[in-house]
Amino acid sequence: MNDDIREKLSAYLDGALSDADRRAVEVEVDRSEELRRELEALRAVSAAVKGLPKEKLPDGFAARLESRRAREAAAPAREYFVLPPSYRPLALALSSAVVALVIWDRTVTRPDPVVPSGGWDSEKIAVKSAAEAPASIDVSGQLSSLSASAESAADEIAKKEDAGAAAGGAASTFGKKFNAPGKPLEVAEADASPSRARAGAAARRSARSPPPPPPPPRTRSKGPPRTARFSRAAKKSAPPSTSVCTRASRKRRSAWASPRSWTRTRRSRTCPPAGASS
Amino acid sequence: MTSIGSQQPVSEQDFLEQHSELVFNVALRLTGNRSDAEDLAQDALIRALRALPKFRGDSKLSTWVYTITVNTWKNRVRAEKSRGFWKTISFGAFGGDKDDDEPVYEPNGNDKPLDTDLEKEGTAAVVQKALLQLDADDRAIVVLREIEDRSYGEIGEVLGLAEGTVKSRLFRARAKLKTLLKVPS
């Protein structure tokens, strides 16, 4: 006996079937003893629930209702749980802003400080006090040496390009062999090796135009160096702390690197682990 | 005096006289005890009186009153469930704190026959106990259909369900009651 017929039995009991469905159910019930018993069981359940007595209103119901109405009319109904409705947009905006801030802070990556291959030399970077800090750092010597090495690299590329032009016979044979008739050779070369073509073009550009003048050297002329200026000790009026990477600060920063606080982990990168300076 | 759509104006007094008993009886079958039923009936009637001026007469006044009563009850069930959930969260991890005022309308999922003695408790009490085993919508469907004799369409209107859904859920509820009441088939 499937559920479709049994469901129809329930609706049949309520007189909620169409004429066709009602006749079909009657035919099925006549044919099946099981369906007949099922229909009787449903009828008994229905009669049992219908037999629940109607109750009279409890004594004093109307009076209690009136007093409750009066009470509720005197005190306006509090239909909110925590915040009144007028405050909800503000609360929503504030919570959204906090969530957005947290997401932004977690997703935006900040550049790591560049650590020399040998690690930091603590003797060189330690600043004993703000007063002893150098007024400026001249880096023009490093910049001009960088510029010179860039120029030599450009010359080398230009020489290779010239050598390639001298051996143009082989390259043109290559280009003609694999290129459609009438198609310019350079296109075939560019297709065959775009990176080499780009390198050649860059070299040609550098050969045509003189190298740009080196930028003015960066100096830090105002106040103490950054490390000392932003350290906790520098903020206090008392004599400044002795060093950026003291044993105590290393210990403190390694504690920050623990997984308890992800925000502090990033800061720990500014101080190398003990022993890296040697 | 409130004018109800195209129908005759109804005063609050008339409204209460006509509907208080109806609301109380529905509340009694939904909650299973008189004190909860009175509280629910008062709550529903106050809401109905507050909303009576806005009633446009799109449906029968009785259907509208049933809707308010059932929705008020369902809100309470939801609140009770939520309260039970938070109690479980709060105390469950610390050895459990047995709830003394367990809600009477907490649905019970099993379909085992009720362990009741018909002679001791009486048929009405057993049937009421079986009704309380149904979940909220099914119980409301059975009460509106069997006790209030409402049509499938009207029940659907009250509960916001399609007529076909009412039909199939009524069948399921009856089948469950048949098991709970140990009616042989």
**Alpha-carbon span B170 to A45, nearest angstrom:** 12
pLDDT at A187 over 80: no
CB atoms within 10 A of CB B135: 15
The answer to whether B134 touches B107, Cβ cutoff 8 Å, is yes
Question: What DSSP letter does each residue of B15-44 carry, written as one string?
Answer: HHHHHHHHHHHHHHHHHSSHHHHHHHHHHH
In this prediction, residue B174 carries a pLDDT of 95
Chain A residues with beta carbon closer than 8 angstroms to that of B168: 7
Contacts of A136 (CB under 8 A, 6+ apart): A219, A220, A221
pLDDT at A179 over 60: no
Average pLDDT (A86-112) is 86
Q: For B143, which DSSP code?
A: I
As to burial, measured by CB atoms within 10 angstroms (0-12 exposed, 13-18 middle, 19+ buried), residue B154 is buried
Minimal CA separation from A61 to chain B, in Å: 8
**Alpha-carbon span A196 to A192, nearest angstrom:** 9
Task: Point out the least confidently predicted range of A209-218, A229-238, B88-97.
Answer: B88-97
Q: Between these two residues, A278 and B133, which has the higher pLDDT value?
A: B133
Residue from A5, A11, A21, A4 nearest A46 by CA: A11
**Alpha-carbon span B162 to B167, nearest angstrom:** 9
Minimal CA separation from B4 to chain A, in Å: 22
Which site among A45, A54, A61, A65 would you substitute to test the B interface, given the most B Cβ atoms closer than 10 Å to its Cβ? A45
Which site among A49, A50, A59 would you substitute to test the B interface, given the most B Cβ atoms closer than 10 Å to its Cβ? A49
The answer to whether B45 touches A65, Cβ cutoff 8 Å, is yes
Task: Point out the least confidently predicted range of A66-80, A111-125, B108-122, B138-152.
Answer: B108-122
- With CB atoms and an 8 Å threshold, state whether B142 touches A7: no
Which of the four pLDDT bands, split at 50, 70 and 90, describes residue A191?
Answer: very low
In this prediction, residue B83 carries a pLDDT of 75
Picking from B38, B127, B185, the nearest residue to A38 by CB comes out as: B185
**Alpha-carbon span A72 to A66, nearest angstrom:** 10
Output the CA angle A240-A244-A247, nearest 5 degrees.
105
In this prediction, residue B123 carries a pLDDT of 83
Return the percentage of chain A with pLDDT > 90, whole number.
Answer: 26
**The pair of three-digit structure tokens given for residue A206, joined into one six-digit string:** 């550098």
Residue from A47, A68, A34, A129 nearest B181 by CA: A47
**Alpha-carbon span B132 to B142, nearest angstrom:** 11
Task: Point out the least confidently predicted range of A76-85, A185-194, A202-211, A219-228.
Answer: A185-194
Q: Between these two residues, A173 and A55, which has the higher pLDDT value?
A: A55
**The pair of three-digit structure tokens given for residue A208, joined into one six-digit string:** 């045509």
B141: enclosing H helix or E strand: helix B136-142
Q: Which residue has the tokens 């104006």?
A: B9
Chain A residues with beta carbon closer than 8 angstroms to that of B49: 69
The answer to whether B14 touches B52, Cβ cutoff 8 Å, is no
Q: Which residue has the tokens 């909620």?
A: A16
The answer to whether B72 touches B19, Cβ cutoff 8 Å, is no
- ipTM, interface predicted TM-score of the complex: 0.79
Average pLDDT (A56-70) is 93
Which of the four pLDDT bands, split at 50, 70 and 90, describes residue A147?
Answer: confident
pLDDT in tens, chain B (185 residues): 555 555 556 788 899 999 999 999 999 999 999 999 999 999 999 999 999 988 888 888 999 999 999 999 999 998 888 777 666 665 544 444 444 443 444 444 455 666 555 555 688 899 999 999 999 999 999 999 999 999 999 999 999 999 999 999 999 999 999 999 988 87
pLDDT at A276 over 90: no
Tens of pLDDT, residue by residue over B113-149, are 665 555 556 888 999 999 999 999 999 999 999 999 9
In this prediction, residue B82 carries a pLDDT of 79
Kindly report whether the global pTM for this prediction surpasses the value 0.80. Answer: no
Tens of pLDDT, residue by residue over B95-107, are 444 444 434 444 4
Residue from A67, A48, A61 nearest B37 by CA: A61
Residue from A221, A207, A226, A218 nearest A142 by CA: A218
In this prediction, residue A65 carries a pLDDT of 95
3-state secondary structure A122-172: HHHHCCCCCCCCCCCCCCHHHHHHHHHHHHHHHHHHHHHHHHHHHCHHHHH
User: Does the CB of B169 have a partner CB in chain A at under 8 Å?
Assistant: no
Tens of pLDDT, residue by residue over A155-164, are 888 888 777 6
- With CB atoms and an 8 Å threshold, state whether B25 touches A55: yes
In this prediction, residue A182 carries a pLDDT of 45
**Alpha-carbon span A219 to A137, nearest angstrom:** 5
Q: Between these two residues, A177 and B69, which has the higher pLDDT value?
A: B69
**Alpha-carbon span B147 to A176, nearest angstrom:** 97
pLDDT at A10 over 60: yes
